[in-house]
Amino acid sequence: MTPRSDEFDTASATLAADGWCLIDHLLSPMQTLALADECHALHDAQRLTPAHVGSGRVRSLLRGDSTLWFEPDALSDAQQVFSDRIDVLRIALNQNLLLGLVDEESHYAMYTPGADYARHLDRLHGNDARVISAVFYLNDAWLDAEGGALRLHLADLSHRDIYPRSGTLLLFLSAQFEHEVLPATRNRMSVACWLRQRPMMGD
């Protein structure tokens, strides 16, 4: 895909107005499938490990997913394509919204049937580096009846359920939106990503 200077203008405007938005077509279907195949293979090889919470990386019953962090200096081909596109998005958000985003961190996440993640905020205690949370879904032919929605809790006390359909990218302000992952009836795969600023708060 050739980057266009205006391709994320609508997303930027929606993010500015609502604090969250959805983006389709971040990657091509083949690029998305490459990530899905890699995540599935890594899970089968037991390379994904039970996730932790907080800056102290503490094991918790609050979440039931398994993860594998991307290593910036050792990205696979599929991960590199994703990272390059997220960097285009990061630059566009900086240009449009002056967010001061300097880098990103990402990991694969696999939720097996019945696994969930309790309601939480993505910003770590004492660390304000995470500005934008991004979740890119890898699940082909997902049906609403299979569950697995990310439930985004809105300021008016309502919520929005985003189902993890392949190729969908969800963006939201890390410090503003509590959210949870509801259990599904099949494996649920994604890339979780955070666009970060230079920390301004002490640990």
pLDDT digits (tens, 9 = 90+) for 110-162: 999 999 999 999 987 778 899 999 999 999 999 999 999 999 999 999 999 99
Task: For residue range 41-81, list pLDDT tens digits in order.
Answer: 999 999 999 987 654 454 556 899 999 999 999 999 999 99
The domain 9-196 is placed in CATH, from the list 2.60.120.620, 3.90.1170.40, 3.40.50.2300, 3.40.50.1110, at 2.60.120.620
Pairing of β 188-196 and β 103-111 = antiparallel
Task: List the beta bridge partners of residue 150.
Answer: 162, 181
DSSP secondary structure string for all residues of 110-163: EE-TT--EEEE-SSPTT---EEEEEEEE-BTT--GGGB--EEEEPTTS-EEEE-
Both tokens assigned to 28: 């091509």
More confident residue, 203 or 44: 44
Say what the pTM is. Answer: 0.92
pLDDT score, position 75: 98
Give the mean pLDDT of 76-99: 97
pLDDT at 5: 56
167-187 b/e with 16+ CB inside 10 Å = b? bbbbbbbbeebebbbebbeeb
Q: What is the mean pLDDT of residues 74-99?
A: 97
pLDDT-based confidence at residue 203 (cuts at 50, 70, 90): very low
Please tell me the predicted confidence (pLDDT) of residue 173.
Answer: 97
Rounded to whole angstroms, the Cα distance separating 62 from 131 reads 22
* Segments in the chain forming alpha helices (H): 9-18, 29-44, 77-97
